[in-house]
Structure 1
Amino acid sequence: MTADVPDSHPRAASLRTRDRLVEGLENGLTSRTGLIAHGRGEAFDYLLGERTIPSADRAARAAAAHLLAADHPVISVNGNVAALAPERVVDLADATDAAIEVNLFHRSAERIEAIADHLRAHGATDVHGLAGDGRIPGLDHDRGICDADGIERADVVVVPLEDGDRAAALAELGKSEIVIDLNPLSRSAQVADVPIVDNVVRALPTMAAHARELSEAGADLDGVIAEFDADAALADAERTIREGSLAD
């Protein structure tokens, strides 16, 4: 394991992230295919300079406004998110009064319970996803299973990490979607009301910080939402990636 890699190592954060995913796999949170998906995202993050670019920060602020203005916001959590950022999910939920729901492509009762327990161990008090009494129309696989009192009822859904068909299906239902995806060309990012092209471990705390700042300031949430330009954010992220340096 590389968790004890020195801070001076240029790949320290990336190596520690990989370790958290491997640990998640060993603990029944992450699927093997989730490791492959992470590797794809890591390549985009490398070209972004492993940083939150200004357009992603603006997107995170708009996302926070959406969550604060929502009647029933829900943060969807899969195995990779649970392994990488459980405490950050809980903090965002606290900052925005959002519900948390476990939603998996490779679904099993054991994995859902393991992820729910993991989130509770990091401070979550109420985790949806175990009932499975709701449905997202248009999805034939298990990702279409959700909780009737969670994602099915939500007006705003945070979808961390690429999940194109579900993102499209949620959009068809008229739900506002906040998608965290390092690939600005993915279906998930393209259909999102707010695409945040950033690493989930950075985007979640950025959203939480903006939510607290907007709440304390009594900000005009509708104004913040209206001024955000999703197409411009995606174009800026794509341009940054295409111009990324491989010098390191």
Structure 2
Amino acid sequence: MEKMVKIPKSHPRYWSLYYREKVIEGLEKGMTAKAGLIAHGRGEAFDYLIGEKTIEPAEKAMKAAIAKLLLAKHPVVSVNGNVAALVPKETMELAKALDAKLEINLFYRTEERVKAIADELKKYDPNVELLGINPTKKIPNLESERGKVDEEGIWKADVVVVPLEDGDRTEALVAMGKFVITIDLNPLSRSARMADITIVDNIVRAYPRMTELAREMKKLSREELEKIISEYDNGQILSETLLHINSRLKKLSQEGIWRKKELPF
């Protein structure tokens, strides 16, 4: 395997290039599918549009998501190749903070990819329980390999976190009666529109923030958590996200971007 390209920290796009290289490294480790590279590039484009920061609608969505996960009886966090490449440690920390189970689930599933992802996650906790190694259940009306799920994981779950997800599985899980939370930089995707809670943010920012919130919100009463969920409206959040993008682009067009090294994010 080739070594990850060393990017000088002085580079103005350091973090963007760093995470791009992490996805490429994930491909070389056998975790990420080639299509995952395309998906990451699409996400980068939407991150540009929102300003490469966590915006207020995403913060509201994260709080509602954590409230729902803390109240869940069987919360599960799904892991795919891009997630394992970008945020392996952060995924483990989030699941631990929520007392949630982790399940490997892949569209382009092979046993080699499953093992590579499991090996990556176990670097951070050798004793972690990983579901999805030998899935025995099938999500109804979902023909892809993503339909294969663990009986003790997604099949049993009441709340599922499905980051960087395919819209067909999000829709199928909702049809099963699962409460679905997704992290997706594209507010127009089927996943974003079909999920119960959509966090429009970069997962490298979202997971650490969600872990912080989980630790803070554990102190809240059941009634307080339920109130947060009852006041949440995912359609409104998606609308607020689109309005943010719209107003930001208008502002940039008025202020001009020609040869400016810094943009007013």
TM category (shorter chain) comes to: over 0.9
1:35-86 per-position Cα deviation (integer Å, ceiling 9, x unaligned):
0011011100011111000110111011111111000000001000000000
The letter for the 2-side match of 1:230 is: N
Instruction: Establish whether residue 206 from structure 1 lines up as the match of residue 212 from structure 2.
Output: no
Contact residue 78 and residue 103 of structure 1 kept, 8 A: yes
Counterpart in the other structure of 2:228:
224
Counterpart in the other structure of 2:166:
163
Matches within 5 A, 1:6-155: 6=9, 8-123=10-125, 125-155=128-158
Query: In structure 1, what is the Cα distance between the partners aligned to 2:68 and 2:35?
Result: 31
Query: In structure 1, what is the Cα distance between the partners aligned to 2:187 and 2:180?
Result: 15
C-alpha RMSD over aligned residues: 1.4
Query: In structure 1, what is the Cα distance between the partners aligned to 2:177 and 2:6?
Result: 42
1:156-202 per-position Cα deviation (integer Å, ceiling 9, x unaligned):
00010131000000000110010100111111111111100001111
Query: In structure 2, what is the Cα distance between the partners aligned to 1:131 and 1:196?
Result: 29
Query: How far is the alpha carbon of 1:228 from its aligned partner?
Result: 1.2
Query: In structure 1, what is the Cα distance between the partners aligned to 2:241 and 2:123?
Result: 35
1:94-133 per-position Cα deviation (integer Å, ceiling 9, x unaligned):
1100000000000011110110111111226111111111
Could you say which structure has the larger radius of gyration? 2
Aligned counterpart for 2:182 among listed residues 172, 179, 184:
179
Q: How many residues align?
A: 247
The letter for the 1-side match of 2:245 is: I
Query: How far is the alpha carbon of 1:208 from its aligned partner?
Result: 1.1
SS of the counterpart of 1:160? coil
Contact residue 160 and residue 181 of structure 2 kept, 8 A: yes
Contact residue 3 and residue 15 of structure 1 kept, 8 A: no
Query: In structure 2, what is the Cα distance between the partners aligned to 1:35 and 1:21?
Result: 7
Query: In structure 1, what is the Cα distance between the partners aligned to 2:18 and 2:100?
Result: 28
SS of the counterpart of 2:186? coil
SS of the counterpart of 1:130? coil
Gaps of 5+ in 2: 258-262
Contact residue 132 and residue 149 of structure 2 kept, 8 A: yes
Gaps of 5+ in 1: none
Instruction: Establish whether residue 195 from structure 1 lines up as the match of residue 198 from structure 2.
Output: yes
Contact residue 44 and residue 241 of structure 1 kept, 8 A: no
SS of the counterpart of 2:119? helix
1:190-240 per-position Cα deviation (integer Å, ceiling 9, x unaligned):
111110000111111111111111113446211111111111110111122
Query: In structure 2, what is the Cα distance between the partners aligned to 1:162 and 1:185?
Result: 13
Query: In structure 2, what is the Cα distance between the partners aligned to 1:137 and 1:20?
Result: 34
TM-score (structure 1 length as normaliser)? 0.95
The letter for the 2-side match of 1:208 is: T
Query: In structure 1, what is the Cα distance between the partners aligned to 2:40 and 2:98?
Result: 27
Contact residue 194 and residue 230 of structure 1 kept, 8 A: yes
